[in-house]
Structure 1
Amino acid sequence: MKRAALLCLLLAGCAAQPSAKGGGIVSLNPCADAMLVELVPRDRIAAISHYSRDPGATSIPLDLARKFNVNNGTAEEIIALRPDLAIIDSFASVSTREALTRAGVKTLTLGWANTIEDSRKQVRELAAALDAKPAGEAMVAKIDGAITAARTGRPPVSALLWIGGNTVNGANTLLDEMMVKAGFSDHAAHYGLQGTGYLPIEHVVADPPRVMLVPDQAGRDAASRAAQMRGWALARSGATVHQAPFERSLVNCGGPVIPRAMTRLAEIRSEVGQ
């Protein structure tokens, strides 16, 4: 028993354990996690999703995520926690949804926010469900303020926003809208890429953008090797491309992530100048 408890602590990712009374809010949705931790006091949150402790999936600081219990998204685990509300995403399986319904667990489904307006609506929907409307309106005000502050009257500058490896952000996405509002044109959309997808290095070398927004990743993993290869190929081609770090945590979600992302985009646009 002691060995199991020690292993649990070392992994720092153990599933949330049910309390005697249950209650609180459980989130299975990493984007809901980002909103939840800013909308309600910590003691109302029974567990956030395990994704928020993954550097590649989180939208909140890892040191903050480690202050909360996490869940692995199983119906059995959520039912055992007896929450007042479980926030799930649109990708939750039918079996999970049915199990939660049979157990009488109240749920709120939050889908994917593809636009800034979608994100505003999502913030307000979650805030209303949590009886935290003033906090929701404050979050929306921060979103709107950051968008206004990032506006520029200068001509748009072409940019590619890399998610990781050879995956890039394309047209008709939340990130695409934010880039445009910050004074960029999404070069992946210029290539014809819709949504998020794979972009061959040949496209980049043949028709490079003026700016590349790159994840803050270092090391010898596949993403780093892909970035190094692009840098080498562009240098050989003679193209001048401004590369700017763009945190991986800024590309996953909307809500309270939008102000941080817009601020960073505005900083990069200012670095590029005219």
Structure 2
Amino acid sequence: MSVCAKVSKAVLVAAAGLWLAASAGLTDPAPRRVVSVNLCTDQLAMMLAAPGQLVSVSHLAADPQSSAMATEARAYAPNMGQAEQVFLMRPDLVLAGTFSARAGIDLLRRLGVRVIEIPPAATLDDIPGHLRIIGQALGRETQAESLAAEFEASLDQLKINAPPARAALYYPSGYTTGAGTLADAILRHTGFSNVAADLGLAGGGNLPLERLVMAGPDVVVTATPYPGASRAEEILVHPALKAVQSRAGSAEVTDADWICGTPHVLRAVRAMAEAREALGGPRLTQRQEIR
């Protein structure tokens, strides 16, 4: 066999090997050093990563007011999301949100780092999809599928089918969330309409206290106060709001259970399902512990 023929044969064998490897997913091995720079991808990664695979999460992940996994986050090196800091961690995959600092994400990509961006969850149906995307990126598809199926089953058990009662989400500075948000989806899943959405608000924004009072909601949902005191929270103890709450039901929730589209939102879903029951809605058919 001539030298050229031997080379051609070697090239064909190598090409065939690459094709087989690609077909089997072997050319894209699971990342070994993963860094997350977004509060929500932090939690998805902590739930799915193999031991030692995730090396850093954002500093917000350890804040119990914002993160449903603050205790678990302390096991990882914190980062501030800065491209220089993240690059020095030598990641082969960075997980980010679509609202993460654009300049830093673009710089990491120019430096050859693979980045996957996850948009904020706007519906409860987004959560299983995001689990599967992160699971595939980490090479943990089986674990992601199991967690997604468990979430979907738990969510189905917490569904309230009843004429909607009216709920108002009211936070410091009169902030609320309307249509097209995860919070709105949680309310609708548990037998509520969203006062802010009914008033035409999409996304997040401020709801004047006067409009809230005139709307006369059946339940007012407020956040657990932060430590200390702030002028932004003064509206939550306003006499007019207290009068509305005395006539309506009231629920105090933890922001960490509502902010990110992870299975931890089941705690928020359960809290609102129980608030709907307290108004005389249908009882849940099965009680279960939401961890």
Q: Distance in 1 between matches of 2:244 and 2:274?
A: 27
Q: 1:94: Cα distance to partner?
A: 4.1
Given that residues 172 and 234 in structure 2 are in contact (C-alpha distance below 8 angstroms), is that contact kept between their aligned partners in structure 1?
Answer: no
Letter in 2 for 1:251: W
Which TM-score applies when normalising by structure 2? 0.79
Q: Distance in 2 between matches of 1:238 and 1:270?
A: 17
Given that residues 162 and 191 in structure 2 are in contact (C-alpha distance below 8 angstroms), is that contact kept between their aligned partners in structure 1?
Answer: yes
Given that residues 163 and 248 in structure 1 are in contact (C-alpha distance below 8 angstroms), is that contact kept between their aligned partners in structure 2?
Answer: no
Counterpart pick for 2:253 among 230, 237, 246: 246
Residues 39-85 of structure 1: CA distance to partner in whole angstroms, max 9, x if unpaired? Answer: 12342211001121334432x23222222211001111111000121
Q: Distance in 2 between matches of 1:140 and 1:163?
A: 30
3-state SS, counterpart of residue 153 of structure 1: coil
TM-aligned CA distance change 1:72 to 1:237, over 3 Å: closer
Q: Distance in 2 between matches of 1:234 and 1:202?
A: 9
Q: 1:23: Cα distance to partner?
A: 5.0
Q: 1:255: Cα distance to partner?
A: 2.2
3-state SS, counterpart of residue 165 of structure 1: helix
Aligned length: 250
Q: 1:236: Cα distance to partner?
A: 5.0
Question: What is the aligned partner in structure 1 of residue 52 from structure 2?
Answer: 43
Question: What is the aligned partner in structure 2 of residue 164 from structure 1?
Answer: 172
Letter in 2 for 1:257: H
Q: Distance in 2 between matches of 1:76 and 1:172?
A: 35
TM-aligned CA distance change 1:220 to 1:95, over 3 Å: closer
Structure 1 segment 142-153 matched on structure 2, within 5 A:
142-153=150-161
3-state SS, counterpart of residue 100 of structure 1: helix
Q: Which has the higher contact order (CA 8 A, sep 6+)?
A: 1
Q: Distance in 2 between matches of 1:42 and 1:222?
A: 43
Q: Distance in 2 between matches of 1:223 and 1:41?
A: 41
Question: What is the aligned partner in structure 1 of residue 27 from structure 2?
Answer: none
Q: 1:273: Cα distance to partner?
A: 2.0
Q: Distance in 2 between matches of 1:235 and 1:89?
A: 37
For structure 1, the residue ranges without an aligned partner over 5 or more in a row are 1-21
Which TM-score applies when normalising by structure 1? 0.83
Question: What is the aligned partner in structure 1 of residue 203 from structure 2?
Answer: 195
Larger radius of gyration: 2
Task: State whether structure 2 residue 108 is matched by structure 1 residue 97.
Answer: no
Structure 1 segment 48-87 matched on structure 2, within 5 A:
48-58=57-67, 60-87=68-95
Q: 1:156: Cα distance to partner?
A: 1.3
Q: Percent identity, please.
A: 28
Question: What is the aligned partner in structure 2 of residue 273 from structure 1?
Answer: 280
Counterpart pick for 2:223 among 215, 227, 240: 215
Q: 1:160: Cα distance to partner?
A: 1.1
3-state SS, counterpart of residue 273 of structure 1: coil
Counterpart pick for 1:178 among 180, 186, 203: 186
Q: Distance in 2 between matches of 1:142 and 1:200?
A: 39
TM-aligned CA distance change 1:165 to 1:55, over 3 Å: farther
For structure 2, the residue ranges without an aligned partner over 5 or more in a row are 1-30, 282-291
TM-aligned CA distance change 1:237 to 1:151, over 3 Å: closer
Residues 95-121 of structure 1: CA distance to partner in whole angstroms, max 9, x if unpaired? Answer: 323321232212111122212233322
Task: State whether structure 2 residue 127 is matched by structure 1 residue 119.
Answer: yes
Residues 209-228 of structure 1: CA distance to partner in whole angstroms, max 9, x if unpaired? Answer: 01011111155223431110
Question: What is the aligned partner in structure 1 of residue 36 from structure 2?
Answer: 27
Q: Distance in 2 between matches of 1:143 and 1:164?
A: 30
Q: Distance in 2 between matches of 1:238 and 1:125?
A: 41
TM-aligned CA distance change 1:118 to 1:153, over 3 Å: closer
Q: 1:147: Cα distance to partner?
A: 2.0
TM-aligned CA distance change 1:94 to 1:61, over 3 Å: closer
